[in-house]
Structure 1
Amino acid sequence: MNNYQLPEEIRHLLEQSNSRQPEEFTDLIREGGYIPPDNELLIDAITALSMGKNVLLKGPTGAGKTRFAETLSNLFNQPMFSVNCSVDLDAESLLGFKTLAYQGEKQVIEFVPGPVTNSMNYGTFLYIDEINMAKPETLPLINGVLDYRRTITNPFTEEIIQAREGFGVVAAINEGYVGTVPLNEALKNRFVVIDIPYLQGDQLKQLIKDSTALDDDRTIDLFVRLSGDLIQAVSQGKLSEDAASIRALLDACDLSSLIPAKRAILRSIIDKLDEDRERDFVRNLTETLFG
């Protein structure tokens, strides 16, 4: 582990990870950070990044992948530039673009760096969200960034950029959604994959307390039960994964600090669903729990 200067307390816990208690790891995570359901997820992600490997977070929508990436950035004391992938992602979105500027009264062409070039030049983390939303012909532009070379030739300036020490890549993927494409093997093989499950039980309860305005324990417990029922329904094929989004659940918790919980769930979860059958299912669950 010699690619990064890990904070001493994290390095010490990693070296003795087999003998450490879960609370010793979660104590390192700042309030509102991602507390994984299994400490091995945190240990393995930190280990991979500390060895200079790219990490791919795989899991359902709203499971906390972006929050996990932000938590890793904080643990390493590393700023993080972000790329949000879509079918419109192109070289300029990744690397930057040329624009007209003025030096005194003289008009010149300047290059404005993008997230990839910025993170390489400054030696920070790069987060690539929904990486499988990008067109297959776009991402090969950064293959050299993602392998041992850590370099790219900027097509706009012809400059060869070598990533500074500290550069690292975390990406996230939602599989099977409309608009996504399978990652090709050349790209997938450049990552260590970590599967992120939904948070449940006490960890979800703590996340609600840390991340929302809701502070009523009884209502929080009901939301934790609702989330568990939604996750079970998703696993049984009764609901789409969108219905069990932790992000949507947190929105509902926030709203329910000021409006009735059933209405908060309607706005944050139910009305987002496309099918009447799914909306009725969640509405009935809500009525059963919240009365």
Structure 2
Amino acid sequence: MDQARYINKDETVFNDAQALMQLNKNLLLKGPTGSGKTKLAETLSETLNRPMHQVNCSVDLDAESLLGFKTIKTNEEGSQEIVFIDGPVIQAMKQGHILYIDEINMAKPEALPILNGVLDYRRKLTNPFTGEVIEAAPGFNVIAAINEGYIGTLPMNEALKNRFVVIQVDYIDGETLFDVIKNQSKLQDDTLINSIIKFNEDLRTMTKQGQISEEASSIRALIDLSDLATVMPIERAIKRTIIDKLEDTREQQAIVNAVELNF
């Protein structure tokens, strides 16, 4: 199974993202949860042969989470000294790697201005913990991902957003989704895969009508569902991977109805 590739019938999504990276532009991947934003970033990392350092944003994100922290270390002579352990931002800058900032709009707005100099033409940062000035090595790129409108997210600061070029990453369907399930899950039964795709189309329709939340029809959930379908009945696989994740009983019942119609 090829676990590392992003697939989309709209080839401009990947091709434009790669071109922007080669132009040293900051890339903002915008789309619903589970639509493949992280997979796209991983595929860019693999294609460009540049390792990726990841920051997972939350309301608890602070400067230490981004830049690193001081700690006490015992040296070869047996005495102790204070050293600074580089965080993901500084590691990526020094090594000319990719920095991936996931769910950037989950972070408190006051936590991110420290990255302004990293994200503009300067590609430079003064470490507030050590005073060291870090200039990004050639090859350094920034990719951020954003899920708009979800609980816990905040409107993205315009000054920050203006430092990125945006690519919309939507859910995939049809033959493209068939290829993803076939290549990235353990399920190889074509008939069952086609039934899962039809079931997912119903979920997407219910999502658009506001009957269920978007994560119920995510690619991530479908891959898990397809894996489980190789070791248990499809109805139970759907219960484990989709239905039981939802807290709203009306959403759960809507999916139960879709299961009965499709399987």
TM-score, L = length of structure 2: 0.97
TM-superposed CA distance for 1:196, in Å, is 0.5
- 1:58 pairs, out of 8, 30, 41, with 30
| Gap regions ≥5 residues in structure 1 | 1-29
TM-superposed CA distance for 1:220, in Å, is 0.7
Q: Could you tell me which residue of structure 2 aligns to residue 25 of structure 1?
A: none
Q: Name the SS of the counterpart of 1:137 in structure 2.
A: helix
CA distance in 1, matches of 2:179, 2:169: 18
Deviations 1:136-179 (A, max 9, x none): 00011111101110000001110000000000011100011111
Size of the aligned set, in residue pairs, is: 261
Residue 203 of structure 1 pairs with residue 184 of structure 2 = no
Opposite residue 284 of structure 1, the aligned amino acid is N
Opposite residue 85 of structure 1, the aligned amino acid is C
Residue 251 of structure 1 pairs with residue 224 of structure 2 = yes
| Gap regions ≥5 residues in structure 2 | none
Opposite residue 221 of structure 2, the aligned amino acid is A
Residue 33 of structure 1 pairs with residue 26 of structure 2 = no
Q: Could you tell me which residue of structure 1 aligns to residue 165 of structure 2?
A: 192
Q: Name the SS of the counterpart of 1:152 in structure 2.
A: strand
Q: Name the SS of the counterpart of 1:109 in structure 2.
A: strand
TM-superposed CA distance for 1:31, in Å, is 5.5
Q: Could you tell me which residue of structure 1 aligns to residue 134 of structure 2?
A: 161
CA distance in 2, matches of 1:245, 1:134: 23
Which stretches of structure 1, 4 residues or longer, exceed 2 Å deviation after superposition?
Answer: none
Residue 108 of structure 1 pairs with residue 47 of structure 2 = no
Greater mean deviation of Cα atoms: 221-230 or 106-115? 221-230
Over the matched positions of the two proteins, sequence identity in percent amounts to 55
Q: Could you tell me which residue of structure 1 aligns to residue 215 of structure 2?
A: 242
8 Å contact from structure 1 (residues 56, 193) kept in 2: yes
8 Å contact from structure 2 (residues 4, 42) kept in 1: no
Q: Could you tell me which residue of structure 2 aligns to residue 130 of structure 1?
A: 103
8 Å contact from structure 2 (residues 27, 165) kept in 1: yes
Deviations 1:64-110 (A, max 9, x none): 10001001111111100000000010000000000110013100011
Deviations 1:225-263 (A, max 9, x none): 111111121112222112111111111111111111110
Deviations 1:199-218 (A, max 9, x none): 10111111111111111111
Opposite residue 71 of structure 2, the aligned amino acid is T
Opposite residue 189 of structure 2, the aligned amino acid is D
TM-superposed CA distance for 1:191, in Å, is 0.4
- 2:237 pairs, out of 264, 272, 286, with 264
TM-score, L = length of structure 1: 0.88
* C-alpha distance 123-32 of structure 1, shift in aligned 2 (>3 A): closer
TM-superposed CA distance for 1:32, in Å, is 4.2
- Aligned-residue CA RMSD (Å): 1.0
8 Å contact from structure 2 (residues 102, 145) kept in 1: yes
Q: Could you tell me which residue of structure 2 aligns to residue 178 of structure 1?
A: 151
Q: Could you tell me which residue of structure 1 aligns to residue 186 of structure 2?
A: 213
8 Å contact from structure 1 (residues 61, 241) kept in 2: yes
